[in-house]
Structure formats: structure tokens, C-alpha cells
């Protein structure tokens, strides 16, 4: 009975594996345990030359993390990086579910470059809208969210869980985990910019649903490299300086341009433009910054001034009850646990 109230979410990132264990208590998710296992990267002092295969290394560190955490559940939700998947919102004419199933498969061909037998495909009906036509009549349209990833990628992530002998209850693209922990059921429209070590996820969430998402190849490790080159210092030193209180973005004497930051904010701008072009009356309630790199000093201020929309730091812990003793640590971890929390929250949904 006890273990049924608990759920573990695991985020396989580039810089680290992060895990969060939640327990449903009095109808509220409470933090039981969390853990992080660093993966060896050049920034963390590793040579970058693997001594084992990537997969072996991941399993080894994952197993060690679980042994340390000793979770009170075998039920696990995991995510895979957004750039390994495809998310599309497609409008269909109003039809029965059986017809829709056929149409989705047919349409999927246009969006997915690989043979469908190599692809894990999932879809969900989001809404039925009435769209006015030029002749004054209205047409009913069904909005469908299509999600796809290559089977071989899905099997790789399933393989990590199988290797440690846990039960995988969910595998999703991290896009959805982030949206769940940061926006959840909050009404309104938000653009989430999640920047990790390697990649940035830009996610437009409306009424709690993912409506648009893009990934770009820009992350914290590019910022470290730019700092190291700009200041002619080692990568380790640059990584430390990056995490200091020094504001490299807004200071008047700031002379370093960070291409990773510029690329991400330009993409955010383009996304907001295409959202406005599609829904001219829609309003954006704000930009929310998530992921480890959101903590780069001055980032929220810089993003606000560049985008012309208020940008705030995400707080994925806000709906989670945390023991007082853990509060200072939680504040330090901040938004880098967005994915793991979103995954653990999935398991809490049906326990509410």
C-alpha cells in the first residue's frame, strides 16, 4: 500500500541524471527524496574520452544513484530528450475516432521521414473547434497532437530501466514533463525556455497543453566555451565563473556575446511571432526560464529586455510540499529539476 503512494521520476540529461521521488500525502505531492548523478563531461573535469560505452556508463551511474536513493517504489517515469522526437499539432476534419486513427497514420507519413514501422507513434485529441469559413458557414475541426520517436531510441531508454530492474510506467519526451511541472493546470499562455547543458527546448503551453515546441542545439556548455575563449581561461575555470554572481549579460562593460543565448532568444522571438500570426487575438502571459542554464546570472533580465515580454525563473517545486530541512537545497537546485519533477508528478495524477 505504502509504495503505491510513491512515484519516481528520472531525467536522463547530458550533464547529469536527476531523480525525484514524491509521495501523495493528504492529497498533496510531498518530496521524499531526490538525487543527481553527474555524467562525465569535459566541463566537470572529465577527459571526454569514454572508458566505457555511453550506454554502459549511463546504466552504471543510474544503478548507483538508485542504490543511494533506495526508493520506496519500483514505479518509474522517465523522459527522453525532446530533440529525439517530433511533436506536431494537426487539424483534421470532424470524424469518428476509428476514422481519425486511420487519418493520423496517413498524415504522419508527411511529418515523419522514417518508415512508420521504425517509429513509435502516439496521438491525442486536444480539442474540437469551429472554424469560420469565408462563405459564412463554420467547419468543425479536430486538433490532434502527434508525437513520434524512433523505436531504436525508445528501446535505448527502456533498456536503462530494464537493466536496473524497475517498472517503467511512462516514457515521454521531456517537453511534456517540463510543461507539467512548470505550468501544470495553470490557465494562460506561456513560453517556456528550458536550457540544459547541450540543448534548449522552447515550449509554448496554452491552458496546460503543449501547443508548439522547438529544440535548438545551444546550451550551457556553449556558454562555458564562449567564456573560456573570451577570457582566455580554462574550461573548468570558465564553468566556475559562469556559476558565480558576476553578470556577463547585462553589465555595461559586458563585452562577450554568447551565441548560444542569442540563438535561443532569437528562436523564442520567431516562435512568438508565428504564434501571433496564427492566433492574432491570443495573448502571451509571460516567458518562463527553466533548466540549469536559466540560473546564469542576469539571464531573466536579459531575456525580458531582448524579448520585450517579462521573463521569470521557473519554480517547478511550487506545488510540492518539501520538508523544512530540505528548503535551502531546493532553492539551490531551482529549475534544473523541472523534468524529473514533471515525471514524478505524472505518477501522482491518478493517486489524487
Ligand X SMILES: Nc1ncnc2c1ncn2[C@@H]1O[C@H](COP(=O)(O)OP(=O)(O)OP(=O)(O)O)[C@@H](O)[C@H]1O
- Distance of alpha carbon 166 from alpha carbon 73, whole angstroms: 9
Cross-strand pairs, 119: 150
Stretch touching Mg ion by CB under 5 A, among 40-48, 132-140, 153-161, 192-200: 192-200
Instruction: Kindly state the number of chain residues that form the binding site for ligand X, as judged by CB under 6 A.
Output: 21
Spatial separation of the C-alpha atoms in residues 181 and 157, rounded to whole Å: 21
Q: Residue 351 binds which one of ligand X, Mg ion, none, with CB within 5 to 8 A depending on kind? A: none
Find the part of the chain contacting ligand X (CB under 6 A) among 132-140, 147-155, 219-227, 342-350.
Answer: 219-227
Strand order in the sheet with 286-290: 209-216, 200-206, 189-195, 286-290, 311-313
Shortest spacing between CB 224 and ligand X, in angstroms: 6
Q: Does 81 bind ligand X (CB under 6 A)?
A: yes
- Asked if 141 is part of the footprint of ligand X (rule: CB under 6 A), the reply reads no
Based on CB atoms, which residue is closest to ligand X, 128 or 313?
Answer: 313
Question: Least CB distance from residue 221 to ligand X, whole Å?
Answer: 5
196 near ligand X (CB under 6 A): yes
**Interface residues for Mg ion in 252-311 (CB under 5 A)?**
none
**Which of 71, 196, 220, 316: binder of Mg ion (CB under 5 A)?**
196
- Cα 311 to chain center, whole Å? 17
Q: Is 13 in the site for Mg ion (CB under 5 A)?
A: yes
User: What is the full DSSP assignment across 15-80?
Assistant: SEEEEEEEEEETTEEEEEEEEEEEPP-GGGT--S--SS-HHHHHHHHHHHHHHHH--S-SEEEEEE
The secondary structure of residue 149, as a DSSP letter, is E
Residue from 190, 296, 317, 346 touching ligand X (CB under 6 A): that is 296
| C-alpha span between 93 and 122 (Å, rounded) | 19
**Is there binding between residue 63 and ligand X (CB under 6 A)?**
no
Q: Kindly tell me which of 142 and 226 has the beta carbon lying closer to ligand X.
A: 226
Amino acid at each position: 500500500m505504502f509504495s503505491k503512494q510513491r512515484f519516481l521520476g528520472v531525467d536522463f540529461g547530458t550533464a547529469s541524471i536527476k531523480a525525484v521521488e514524491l509521495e501523495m500525502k493528504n492529497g498533496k505531492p510531498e518530496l521524499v527524496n531526490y538525487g543527481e548523478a553527474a555524467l562525465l563531461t569535459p566541463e566537470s573535469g572529465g577527459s571526454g574520452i569514454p572508458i566505457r560505452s555511453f550506454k554502459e556508463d549511463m546504466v552504471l551511474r543510474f544503478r548507483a544513484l538508485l542504490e543511494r536513493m533506495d526508493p520506496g517504489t519500483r514505479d518509474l517515469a522517465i523522459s527522453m530528450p525532446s530533440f529525439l522526437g517530433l511533436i506536431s499539432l494537426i487539424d483534421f476534419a470532424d470524424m469518428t475516432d476509428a476514422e481519425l486513427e486511420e487519418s493520423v497514420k496517413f498524415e504522419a507519413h508527411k511529418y515523419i521521414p522514417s518508415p512508420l514501422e521504425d517509429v513509435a507513434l502516439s496521438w491525442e485529441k486536444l480539442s474540437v473547434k469551429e472554424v469560420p469559413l469565408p462563405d459564412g458557414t463554420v467547419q468543425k475541426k479536430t486538433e490532434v497532437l502527434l508525437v513520434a520517436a524512433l523505436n531504436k531510441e525508445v528501446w535505448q531508454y527502456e533498456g536503462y530501466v530494464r537493466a536496473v530492474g524497475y517498472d517503467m510506467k511512462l516514457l515521454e519526451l521531456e517537453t511534456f514533463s517540463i510543461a507539467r511541472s512548470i505550468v501544470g493546470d495553470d490557465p494562460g499562455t506561456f513560453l517556456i525556455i528550458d536550457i540544459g547543458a547541450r540543448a534548449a527546448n522552447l515550449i509554448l503551453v496554452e491552458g496546460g497543453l503543449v501547443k508548439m515546441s522547438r529544440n535548438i542545439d545551444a546550451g550551457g556548455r556553449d556558454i562555458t566555451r564562449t567564456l573560456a575563449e573570451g577570457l582566455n581561461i580554462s574550461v573548468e575555470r570558465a564553468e566556475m565563473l559562469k556559476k558565480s554572481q558576476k553578470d556577463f549579460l547585462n553589465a555595461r562593460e559586458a563585452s562577450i556575446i554568447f551565441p548560444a543565448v542569442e540563438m535561443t532568444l532569437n528562436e523564442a522571438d520567431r516562435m512568438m511571432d508565428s504564434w501571433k500570426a496564427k492566433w492574432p487575438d491570443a495573448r502571451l502571459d509571460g516567458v518562463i526560464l527553466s533548466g540549469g542554464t536559466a540560473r546564469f546570472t542576469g539571464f531573466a533580465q536579459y531575456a525580458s529586455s531582448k524579448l520585450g515580454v517579462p521573463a521569470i525563473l521557473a519554480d517547478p517545486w511550487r506545488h510540492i510540499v518539501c520538508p523544512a530541512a530540505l528548503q535551502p537545497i531546493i532553492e539551490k537546485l531551482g529549475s534544473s529539476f523541472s523534468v524529473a519533477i514533471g515525471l514524478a508528478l505524472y505518477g501522482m495524477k491518478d493517486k489524487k
